[in-house]
Structure 1
Amino acid sequence: MQADATAELTETGEVTESAEAAEAAQVTAAAEVAEEPATVAAVTSADAPAEDAKAADAAAAEEPSVAAPVRHSGDRIARRYRLEECTTSNEVFSSWRAVDEKLRRAVGIHLIAAAHPRAKRVLAAARQAALLGDPRFVQVLDAVVDGDIVYVVREWLPDATGLDTLLLAEPLEPYEAYQLVRQLADAMNAAHRRGLAHLRLTPASVLRTDSGQHRIDGLAVNAALRGIESDDKTDAALQDTRAIGALLFASLTHRWPYPEGGHGLRGLPRDLGTVPAERVKAGVHRGLSDLTARTLCTPPGGKLTPITTPEELAKAIAELPKVRQPEPEPLVLPSYPSNRDAGRRPGAAASSAATTVTPSVPRPPRPPQAPPAPQPALPGRSGKALKWAVSLVVLGAIALGSWGTAEALMSRNNAGSTDTQLSQGQGGQSGGGHQSGQGNTGRSLKQLSLSSDSEFSPLDVPIAGAKAPMAIDGKSDTAWITSSYNGYPNFGNLPTRKDGSGIVVDLGSVQSVSEVKVLLPFAGQAQEILAAPAGATSEPLDLSGFTQRISNDGLLAGTSLDSGVLAKPVQTRYVLIHVTSLPADASQPGNYRGGISEIQVLG
């Protein structure tokens, strides 16, 4: 499942070759803790288009044979980067997923022999890409000559998915394809203005994050590693423009626009040639299909004019009619019967779940009862005394019974309003003896508007603060996601995260809060719900400032958290969803990652 933060560059080392040291400034690793760890999908040599492969083969034939450095999992580079998994390996270079042991985060590393003719071009390309500093590109963190090897360190985005993976199953929706081509064109336009070209823009080098942003991996570096270069800026712009057009074509049709196919997609028939997307798949968005014709076809046909640069492509996309975004599915949290109803009607759940309702049969009338036989009258004063004695005994028994019943009911209600409210909040059932959505006096609750939210970072070390608004945007498919922490579910047992993290919602003013609902992106997360006192005039900066408890800390087996309706509403302006333990990260065994998708506060 987690990053859009750009790395801050600082000096870490010097290039050992004096000529190289004079050429460019040092590129360095990110300072202390990046907002979110990063990741890069592996790009294998088999993914290259046919023309790129031919160019790389021709370049390799002219170069001296210098083998790629031999390294193994567990080896350390520069006594800092521990190699974990090899993602690409060929005769010239290898690419790895590694761990930066100083900053305790995942990174990607390219390794190439310092004596290889491509090494200098790789270093130069990495340094130029690092200086771009554009968050739409996967950031280069370091590029150094270390003895007999050159290594390039880049971000690793574990929560991102490569476009090649997204296209394995089906084409993208029109809105997704529109967002893809718009973001790629804007990003590459910015790069070309700074004199940088990609030259190897493939589906594997486009990564989609959980927020829907597309980030480009390997700017200049991927081509340099494979010996692909272009000194002609016009030709470089045309290559990148056609590459974007090919990605758009594949996203719309689920086919590769050339006969040879590639990236897991079938190619087009050779006798068909290069055609617009609408010629291959019916119902394709007309404006987007025209973009494929203008970027790939020569000539594009009709009155369409060719597009040969990312700048022209960006302008053409801006002139397109608006592509409608599909309506998001409404957020629906499951409701549960209250404990009082369950205790009063033990068979209610079973009867309500039945698919067939049995009609009720009227009972036969009861036979009339005969009047009781008259009791013999008690004579004299002894009879009156006995009547008074019996009456007093009966009245005393009634009084004792009423008092005992009332005390039992009060004890049960008090226990329900405290223990049930606190302990059952994590289980999705309503507490305090009220059904979810029904107020303390039987009135229906309304959803309170959330003025804003922020990430809870008590030691001022943010994780993904920029993504906090995704927890209150009304979309269940977006979320605030934490980093992936190694070894321990309590945020990696890091001192900077000893108080966990979470989201603080600001209600704008003091409100009466009766219920809180939370939707989580992953099952198996532990959290509690706290509130600041009514007198708090600003958002508390640490846990001690949230003195009111709405639900206890507990592990949630599912992804829907409901505090239940509180027996007594909480008066507060600030509500904290405090995450204390993270679920296992399915994408990285041994790591832990959590988050919050949606928050609703009712009162």
Structure 2
Amino acid sequence: MYGVGTGRVIADRYALSERRAHLGSIEVWSAVDSTLGREVSITLFPSNLSRADAIVDAARRSAALNDPRLVRVLDVGTGEDVSWLVEESLSDSSSIADLISTGPLPPEEARRIAGEVASGLAAAASRGLHHLHVTPHSVRRTDGGLIKIAGLATASALEGDDDAEDDRAERIDTVATVALMYAAMTTRWPLPQRIPGLEAAPRIVGGVAAPSEIAVAVPPDLDAICRATLNHDTGPRSPRELVDRIAPWSHTQVKHMAPKVTPVSRPPAPAAPTEAIPAVRPGGNGGRGRRSDRRAGSGAAAGAGAGAAVGATVGAGSSGSGAEGGATAVAASAGPIARVREHREAERAARAASTRRRLEERRADPSFLNLPEALDEQRNTPLPPPAPMLPRTPEVEGRHAKLILAVVVAVIIAAMMFAVPTMLGMFSRGGEQPEPQASPGPGTAAPTTPGQSPAASPTLGDPITPVGITSFDPQGDGTENESAAPRAIDGDQGTFWRSEGYRSNASFGNQKDGVGLVVELPAGTTVHEIRVWLPDHDSQDVEFFVNDSASLDGATRVGGFTDGKGERSVPVRNPTAGSRLIVWVTKAAAESDGRFRAQINEIVLR
């Protein structure tokens, strides 16, 4: 951004240190708060940016929400040439995308991450705030295991889709949180939009493969929630409902744990647990005493993890009989806690071994299909050579030959009986020309000649399932509300992709010739018909091009229309094979706020 660099002081307080990221004219910097002497993160954007006012307003509203799972907004402001948004520094954290780049997380850690994210989004929804762009890049885990959500309300304000109704917005956030949990367990992204650094989840009939088909040891309840939410449009409808469905989860980070073999005569000292362990109190209270301690331990663990639960037990003993009682409680509880931990580790190792045995047994079964291996084998295995031609059928001898010969003669005689009258009729007419016939009027079937069937209207093929979709802005910053692009092919005409707002006129403020979408098709696909749904409040001009790259250079124009509203069907007059269909909007629709935007509600191809 012009005039922004290392050393510049924003708002007479924040000294810029290093630029961390940028998107067009929006930049993210690390900075030092000279007033409090702490490191912060500051997002800068031009004050005349089309969405600047919306971003500042969203940041101020989210700053009023105090939840430990949300990245805190510390300051918001606007100057003559630049606006800023100051947030707490997360330099000691990693995004979920970075964490799963080396492999999947434990399923219970994925449950914990999803539970914390859903809890934060539920708290925001109670104040009328939504995220709408939850991805593995917007959720971070600190070195201490805390989960942080970045971009609440501001991400949707930046993309220009912050006008979704509350029920719809909560459903979008819920589906994205389930997708985040799916990605943490499998390292694959199950939703249509692309996520940098992550591979797409394998597609099967009915949607995406379930997590249990890709990863091992996936809990049945998480597997069922992923199936219902991602493939059947059922499952939880709001973050609060998702919290209730996946609870309870560990309040501390869950790590991979290898089984330990320890001598019976010398049990090891208890190690730091990775999840809350119920406190065990010695004495003669039986089951009731243990249940009481478990409730007390859970309450302490909710605040500070398993260590707080053990501390609570020790504190209870000390308050009853002084230092001697506390020492007795520690000595009595150390053995049971160690045994509980060893028992859990042994159960975990036994389950993993049992899972591996079942997989090996199923692999030995010829009918077993492992989806990831099948996909890899299909990509790496060349096509088999064509089958050889079938040998000539040997001659039939004997009485069967006579029977076949009789059938052939009968067929020839029958054919001659039909053919001879027709030939005689032709010779009898001589060289007469058929009388001209009037063209049929509306509702009248076209006449046919003998031996000719009525002309049938051309039939279209099956619907074409797009591989993906991206925004298209070749004359701007390269992106145009990218995250909303999948809504144009989600099968719902109530959702839509909409460009950024432009002032002055419908020609995008005379800044560019147009904007649009690039629909990725299976290789070599030929499109015969294009159906699009546009908004009804104003007309748009749209053109369609086919190419093998996301560029208008060398593309073939296959159709278009002007002043289009509502549903429009465009038959392709010159079908051309290609891997990308470019939807190019050259005249935007006027909006109620005085700006002009391109909008596509749905695209269906045949």
Is the pair's TM-score, using the shorter chain for normalization, greater than 0.5?
no
Q: TM-score, normalised by structure 2?
A: 0.41
Q: Which of the pair has the greater relative contact order for Cα pairs under 8 Å at 6+ separation?
A: 1
Larger helix fraction of residues: 2
